Every structure is written in C-alpha cells, then in structure tokens.
C-alpha cells in the first residue's frame, strides 16, 4: 500500500514496552539516542530507518557492510544509507549478534513452513510506515537489521537461524546522526529458533 507523507511529529523522550508481536514507529532528531533492551532474553527486534528530509534515502545493510568492511555490528560502528550517509552510530552493544538485512514475512513463512497468513516483521514494519505516512512499497529487506538475531554460518555454505544468546537486560543503543524515521517490530516468528520459540516483550527508550 502506498501512503502519503504527513507533517513530521517528533518522538518525545521516554520508554515504551513493546509487547510480543508488537511494533513501534518513531521519528528521531539528529543527536537523539535509541536503546533497545531485551527484557527476558532471547528475543529479536527488527528495525528499518530512512531519512526524514528524503525518505528515498534508506538505511542499507549492504552498504553498511561495504562501508564498514564488516558483516557485523558493534559499539562504535556506524550504520549507512543507500547513498553511504551515516544515519546511526552504535554506542552500546551488550551482545554482538545481529543480522544485517532481512525480515520474516507471511510469504517466506508460507514457503518455508507451509503456513499461510502468519504474523511477520514485514507486516509490522508496513504498519509502522503507514502510521508515519510513508510509502510502504519502498520498504526492502536490505533496509532491515535484525537486532539480537543469531545466524550460524557453516563450512559447507549453509546458514542456519539459531537461538539468540541475549540475557535478560542486554541492550543495544544507537545515536541518530541524521533526522530519521524508524520502524520497529518485536519479531513474531515462532516457526524457527529466532526467538527461542518463546515470544517476549522488549523495552524501547528514546533519550
């Protein structure tokens, strides 16, 4: 669904509990900080971002890897846009396991597990973008980072989703380097070990 961008409403500092399968749409000014805390452990949060002044310039997992020359995230790392602009900086990372790019969708779940119409991060992120008045057709898997997602890479080339290693209270914190829209999805995936088969709440704090 395509939507029309509306007047910018900036997110006030504060803390929100995002319930299992829940979502949260944010608009952050440059210099604000965002902390995502895994309250009970072993839960994944997907997020996408785009510039407020030009929503066509989106966060890019691919160009983040290219600009960092790395496949992971960590404290001090920057997250880049499709035009290689630094959008966010990681200030704190208690865990170190994150997946650059991708989100679950009802389509991938039906293909992999034979179950149609499941809840998904893609559905949540589209709802976030609709709430912000943004064009949902511009959302892409490259725009997404899955915080705390744990993927094992095997010598034969296979990759495998395994249980997260986060402990209760583990957090990752970002600083906005530009004014950004952010969509968050407390991952509802229950058909693989992504969330250890037990969906739990997450805490999101804006400073």
Q: What is the pLDDT along the chain (207 residues), one digit of tens a residue?
A: 444 556 899 999 999 999 999 999 999 999 999 999 999 999 999 999 999 999 999 999 999 999 998 878 889 999 999 999 999 999 999 998 999 988 998 999 899 889 999 999 999 999 999 999 999 999 999 999 999 999 888 898 888 899 999 999 999 999 999 999 999 999 999 999 999 999 999 999 999
3-state secondary structure of 110: helix
Tell me which H or E stretch contains 125: helix 121-132
User: What pLDDT does 59 receive?
Assistant: 97
Q: Which domain holds residue 96?
A: 15-206
User: Is 119 a domain residue?
Assistant: yes
Structure tokens at 17: 């509990």
At residue 1, the pLDDT reads: 43
**Entry field: residues in the chain:** 207
Structure tokens at 14: 């504060």
Residue 99 lies in a domain: yes
Helix (H) or strand (E) holding 27: strand 23-28
Strand ranges in 71-206 using DSSP code E only, listed in sequence order: 78-80, 86-93, 98-100, 144-147, 150-153, 159-162, 170-176, 180-186, 202-206
User: Structurally, how many domains does the chain consist of?
Assistant: 1
Establish if 146 belongs to a structural domain. yes
Would residue 5 count as lying in a domain?
A: no
């Amino acid at each position: 669904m395509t939507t029309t961008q509306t007047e910018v409403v900036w997110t006030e500092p504060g803390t929100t509990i995002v319930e299992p399968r829940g979502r949260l749409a944010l608009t952050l000014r440059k210099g604000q900080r965002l902390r995502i805390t895994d309250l009970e452990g072993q839960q994944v949060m997907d997020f996408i971002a785009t510039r407020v002044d030009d929503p066509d310039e989106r966060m890019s997992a691919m160009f983040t890897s290219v600009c960092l020359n790395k496949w992971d995230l960590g404290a001090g790392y920057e997250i880049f846009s499709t035009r290689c602009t630094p959008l966010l900086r990681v200030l704190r990372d208690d865990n170190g396991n994150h997946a650059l790019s991708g989100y679950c969708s009802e389509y991938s779940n039906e293909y992999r597990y034979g179950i149609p119409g499941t809840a998904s991060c893609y559905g949540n992120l589209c709802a976030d973008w609709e709430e912000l008045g943004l064009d949902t057709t511009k959302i892409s898997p490259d725009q997404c980072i899955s915080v705390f997602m744990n993927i094992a890479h095997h010598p034969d080339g296979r990759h495998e989703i395994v249980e997260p290693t986060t402990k209760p209270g583990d957090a990752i914190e970002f600083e906005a380097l530009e004014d950004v829209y952010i969509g968050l999805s407390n991952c509802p995936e229950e058909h693989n070990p992504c969330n250890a088969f037990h969906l739990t709440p997450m805490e999101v704090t804006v400073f």
